[in-house]
Amino acid sequence: MRSEKDTEKLARFETALRQFIERIEQDRYVLAVVLVGSLTEELIWRRESLSLWIIEADGVTRRLPSDGEDERIFRILVEDGINLHAEVIPRSRFKKMVEGASRTAFSCNFFAHRKIVFSRDPSIANWFEKANRLATKDQERELLAFSTWTIHAHRHASKRLKVKEDLELAAQEIINAAHSIAHTEIIRLGEICEQDIIYRAMDGAPKLFKTIYLDVLAKRKNRRVLTTALEAIEEYLEEHYEAHLKPLLAYLKKQNRVVPLSEISDHFAFSQLHPFHLESACEWLERKGRLQKVSASFKLTKRSTERVEEPAYFLDEG
């Protein structure tokens, strides 16, 4: 049964959002506001602030020294005692987000509902509706992102356990991998889940998460438990890699040549994929015999006369 406290808290947050919208409507340079994450009694217990995107007109950005050189601008506002965590986004960059041409694209769309709560620009509302619908269906991109996280964490957990014999930090990396797999499982369902992801994933794969999560939490300094967890994660990766790494494999197949890691990273630069994680995925595929690894020359600067070498990969379909 929901407590009155949650009901009262929800009412306070809804009031703060309404008052903020009434205030922002007076600013003609603010074009739209997007609420990130649902306001419901089931989830209000975890809310300490409201998360917003504030889309502004182009050419009016007010940068502060604390923004540094980062393209993304964040502001912490307050309304009726409720803090508002806002990302301020120029209209042109929001359009790039919608089109998937920005690092702030609609990533992780399976873990937070997004809703326009104010708009004075019809085109923004139309862009948003289209992008929000397509992002939820874009499972392949999200599966690739979280699978590279899993491989990266598994790689470092193995080193911690086998090379450094550091059971405590190995356990932490395995827990990180377990959370990545939990997110992967939610994406595979194709549904938005704003509850605790790990518990929702455990409902769907109890045996797997007992091995890689619950047992590790209970016995994190037990080498046998950690080794078993690593083996289970490896088996999970092997079972699903063709589906989960499909965009990477498809890209390399289409290229049909040796592709330097920098080119692979550039291709996926707007998909929330980090070069270090792509490297881990390519190295894992190379160990499995799916990729061949060579080296390619690379200029460190525009004026460099000497070249260094970088990893390069070729899809082996033999």
CATH classification at residue 296: 1.10.10.10
83 plus 40 within the same structural domain: yes
**Tokens 């929330």 belong to which residue?**
272
Among 129, 128, 115, 136, which Cα is nearest to 192's?
Answer: 136
CA gap 220, 226 in Å, rounded:
7
236 plus 259 within the same structural domain: no
CATH number at residue 222: 1.20.120
96 plus 66 within the same structural domain: yes
164 plus 66 within the same structural domain: no
- Specify the range with the lowest mean pLDDT, choosing from 2-11, 174-183, 279-288, 298-307: 2-11
Name the domain boundary from 193, 226, 244: 244
Model pLDDT, residue 42: 83
225 plus 269 within the same structural domain: no
68 plus 20 within the same structural domain: yes
257 plus 296 within the same structural domain: yes
CATH number at residue 56: 3.30.460.10
118 plus 131 within the same structural domain: yes
Model pLDDT, residue 43: 83
pLDDT tens track for 74-87: 999 999 999 999 99
Model pLDDT, residue 116: 93
Model pLDDT, residue 105: 47
pLDDT tens track for 143-197: 898 999 999 999 999 999 999 999 999 999 999 999 999 999 988 887 777 778 8
Counted domains in the chain: 3
Domain that holds residue 64: 4-137
Statement: residue 1 has pLDDT above 60 = no
Among 233, 104, 223, 215, which Cα is nearest to 168's?
Answer: 223
214 plus 271 within the same structural domain: no
15 plus 34 within the same structural domain: yes
- 3-state SS assignment for residue 86: strand
Q: What are phi and psi of 76, to 5 degrees?
A: -105, 115
In percent, the amount of the chain with pLDDT more than 90 equals 69
pLDDT tens track for 93-144: 888 877 764 444 455 566 668 889 999 999 998 888 777 665 555 778 888 9
Please, which contacts does 275-282 make with residues 24 or more away whose CB atoms are closer than 8 Å?
Answer: 276/152, 277/145, 277/148, 277/149, 277/151, 277/152, 278/148, 278/248, 279/311, 280/148, 280/151, 280/152, 280/155, 281/147, 281/148, 281/151, 281/152, 281/245, 281/248, 282/248, 282/311, 282/313
Quote the tokens at residue 303: 């004026």
Quote the tokens at residue 145: 């992102």
61 plus 84 within the same structural domain: yes
Name the domain boundary from 214, 244, 274: 244
Model pLDDT, residue 318: 62
10 plus 100 within the same structural domain: yes
Name the domain boundary from 184, 218, 244: 244
- The pTM for the full model equals 0.78
* Helix ranges (DSSP H) in the chain: 4-24, 91-98, 122-137, 139-162, 167-189, 197-204, 206-209, 215-218, 223-244, 246-255, 261-267, 275-287
